[in-house]
Amino acid sequence: MQRRSFLSAAVAGGLSAVTADVLADAERKPPRVGLIGTGWYGKADLFRLLQVAPVEVVSLCDVDSKMLAEAADMTAERQKSKKKPRTFGDYRTMLKEKDLDIVLIATPDHWHALQAIAAIEAGADLYLQKPISVDVVEGQAVLAAARKHKRVVQVGTQRRSTPHLIEARDKFLKEGKLGKIAFVEVYCYYHMRARENPPDSKPPEHLDYEMWTGPAPMRPYNRLVHPRSWRAFMEYGNGIMGDMCIHMLDMVRWMLSLGWPKSIASNGGIFIDKKSKANISDTQTATFAFGDLDVVWQHRTWGSSPNPKYPWGATIYGDRATLDLSVDGYDYTPLGGKAIHQDRVMELDKYPEDKTEKDLEKHVAPAIRGHMIDLLAAIAKRSKPVADIEQGHISTACCVLANMSAQLGRSLTWDAAKEAVTGDEAANKLLRRPYRKPWVHPGA
């Protein structure tokens, strides 16, 4: 779809004229964009941005030289200028140029905080993939940097920009049609945990494994680690809590205007699959207590889903109705009256290139596009985007704290003002992970 056609269609479809003006202004002076992390979701984010705004992608960075070269060729094909971006193996070298208006970060989780802070200090606004950090203190440091340098940071919790979920919030929750809400379930039953146990080996020549590992503990290289299966290891993230719970918990917090929970309690472990190399839990529950509302998470990477229509999603219970929500649609079920179902929006007719893009989650593409448009509008107005860094920090920290609760075997009472666990010295020591030298923790 041509950009000018997009602008006209956007306004006709409900996008504000102000936002359309923002995109038209970008047409006159294209923002200069850089991407750190050119793998699966890095390209998905970048190419959605190219679909909705006339940006110029000038820099790409990755520690995998093969992946980097492929991304550079693909980007040249996609962008209007047809220019191939500069390529870098070290994000610090890329950011030294200080010529980027927007930086997208889509590296493994253990890199997010250091790269986000460096990009902010280089003067760029950010699209930062979730979670924003692997520990709570990292998240505090990213938020502080964004506020100090007055940078706009959109976090990749794109449920806040998913068309049918916005509709569900506006039609049912804002109008009070569920009545009093006192309980929410969030869950994931995908069999997504790595089940293999391949031997360790020598890293491929095109991968700088030392730099890939960065501040994380050094493990022997294993093909599960790169690309994509690194989430099987707690050294690089926070397991399924940090990957999948954050999306649905953040969505619920947004829909119900929730801040920090008062307490977090979690239990879980490796109960079924004890033979794979993965060290993340295959079974876990967590309760986030928000006063007179409990939000309860559950994931299992085995067995069946209680509701086959909703293997990953949220169910909001009110005393007048129930609302089931997922990336695929929603179901509103009142205690009396007619139930309402809505399917996801795909937009494949508007963006036919989505049909053939390798590994693209086609149903998520509209949400990413909406998230990018919202980011550009916030940059133009110097305002907070819908998934502002503070909201990303809260949702990230909640998932980190849940894992800490499971590790310690006790509930954690959270002091939101101090951002510390009340009366628990051992827990507060876990708010900051140790870094591998010579990398220095931003909260040190």
What DSSP string runs through 354-391?
GGTSTT--TTTHHHHHHHHHHHHHHHHHT---TTBHHH
* DSSP code per residue over 414-442: EETTTTEETT-HHHHHTTS----TT---T
Residue given tokens 């963006």 in the structure block: 351
Which residues share a beta bridge with 36? Answer: 61, 105
The answer for residues whose C-beta is within 8 angstroms of residue 75's C-beta and 6 or more apart is 46, 50, 57, 60, 84, 85
**Of 5, 87, 77, which Cα lies nearest the Cα of 357?**
77
Contact 330, 322 (CB under 8 A): no
Over its length of 444 residues, how does the chain's per-residue pLDDT go in tens digits? Answer: 444 444 444 433 445 555 667 667 667 789 999 999 999 999 999 999 999 999 999 999 999 999 999 999 999 999 999 999 999 999 999 999 999 999 999 999 999 999 999 999 999 999 999 999 999 999 999 999 999 999 999 999 999 999 999 999 999 999 999 999 999 999 999 999 999 999 999 999 999 999 999 999 999 999 999 988 999 999 999 999 999 999 999 999 999 999 999 999 999 999 999 999 999 999 999 999 999 999 999 999 999 999 999 999 999 999 999 999 999 999 999 998 899 999 999 999 999 999 999 999 999 999 999 999 999 999 999 999 999 999 999 999 999 999 999 999 999 999 999 999 999 999 999 999 999 999 999 997
CATH H superfamily, domain 3-160+366-388: NAD(P)-binding Rossmann-like Domain (3.40.50.720)
Closest-CA residue to 190 (of 81, 328, 62): 328
**Location of each CATH 3.40.50.720 domain in the chain:** 3-160+366-388
Residue for token pair 């086959």: 308
Q: Hey, what are 8's tokens?
A: 């006209």
Enter the CATH code of domain 162-344+391-429.
Answer: 3.30.360.10
Q: What is the phi/psi pair of residue 231, to 5°?
A: -65, -10
Cβ atoms 166, 142 nearer than 8 A: no
Region(s) of the chain under CATH 3.30.360.10: 162-344+391-429
What is the model's pTM?
A: 0.95
**Token duo for residue 404:** 């800490």
pLDDT computed for residue 18 by the predictor: 53
Q: How far apart are CA 334 and CA 274, in angstroms?
A: 42
